[in-house]
Every structure is written in structure tokens, then in C-alpha cells.
Amino acid sequence: MCSVSTQTVALIFLVDGLDVFAGEPMNRVEIAFDCLPLRSVTRLDVPLDASPGYRRKCEAIKNAIKNHGSHNTYYLHNAHCNYFLTNDQKVGSLHFKFQGTAFTDGDDSRCISTSLEVSLSSETCDWLTEPIVDWFCLTVEKSVQHEFNRYIEAGDLSRTQERIRKMEQSQDTEGGFLGMYL
């Protein structure tokens, strides 16, 4: 019942995706991330002179490769997901930070799941409770999965598929990688 009411209000105030009062596009969710294909990581050692922040990032990437492998996995970092629950920019926003791994199908054509560390970084909701924060942390994972599919669609999928085909063909002709000097 509440969702029907919310949808009705949205229809009243939105005309062609614009806020009738402000004349600006209304985005209820903003998601941004940097994406590192884990198969592109060639070295796992952390530079000796690395800053503490860079060291943590390198360790997180190493753990992602150790736990999930490097094929069809992407490390998402420098990432945030913002939800806007009201039409007032000063009230009703939830800002989350996240990092972790996105998993794609064998063709790299769609995201099948994510494994993210999500945390609430700021909010302007005086009615927010811990169970709601927990639910939104799960919702961030689902939202990022959907957004990663849009990221794939916007990219050059045919180029990725060609790269995978060449990699598989190379492994078939060379008998796969056995290790150095073997």
C-alpha cells in the first residue's frame, strides 16, 4: 500500500523524468565505481614504499584474487551508492561506500553476483534505524549488480568476447600454462 502511494506521488511530480518544481533530472540512486578486471593483475606484491591506503587496496585486491580467482571477476573500488528518499536535497539521503568483487557469466555479458563490503558513510534521515541500514546494505549489492550490467552493456562487449576467445584458443594450442621452465 505504501509503495502504491509512493509511486502515485512520483507520477504527480515527475514529468519526463524531470522534477516539476526544480526542472532538474531526478535520480533516486547514484552509483559510481572504478573497475579493475582481476585478470589484468600481473603482480601481487605490494611495493615496499606504498602508502598505508595503497597497501590496504593492494591487500584487498590480493584477497579478492585469492578468494574468487581472476577469471570473470572485477574488483570495484573508489565506489559509492547514494539513495535519495525525498524530493528535498537536504533531507532523506543515504550515502554508502563499497568495495569488492563483481562476478560475470562465462561470456562476460552480465553480472551474476557481487561480494561487497558496504558501509553507511553519511545520511540525512532522522527516522533511520539499524534494520533499515542493514536492508539498504543488501540493496546496495543488488543495485550495484544491476548497474554493473549497464556498465557491461555500455562497454565494447564484442572486444571482450574476442579477447576471451583468443585466450582460450592460445591455451588450446599451447596446451595451457604449466609454469616457467616446465
Amino acid identity, residue 18?
L
The answer to whether residue 102 sits within a structural domain is yes
The answer to whether residue 9 sits within a structural domain is no
**Residue 3: pLDDT band by 50, 70, 90 thresholds?**
very low
- Could you list the residue range(s) of the whole structural domain that residue 126 is in? 27-169
Q: Show Cβ contacts of residue 87 under 8 Å, excluding neighbours closer than 6 positions.
A: 13, 19, 21, 26
pLDDT score of 170? 72
pLDDT digit string (tens) for 63-99?
A: 999 999 999 999 999 999 999 999 888 899 999 999 9
Query: Where would I find the H helices in the chain?
Result: 2-13, 52-68, 130-154, 157-174
Enter the pTM of the model: 0.72
The answer to whether residue 3 sits within a structural domain is no
Tally of domains within the chain = 1
The answer to whether residue 22 sits within a structural domain is no
The answer to whether residue 44 sits within a structural domain is yes
β-sheet bridge partners, residue 122? 95
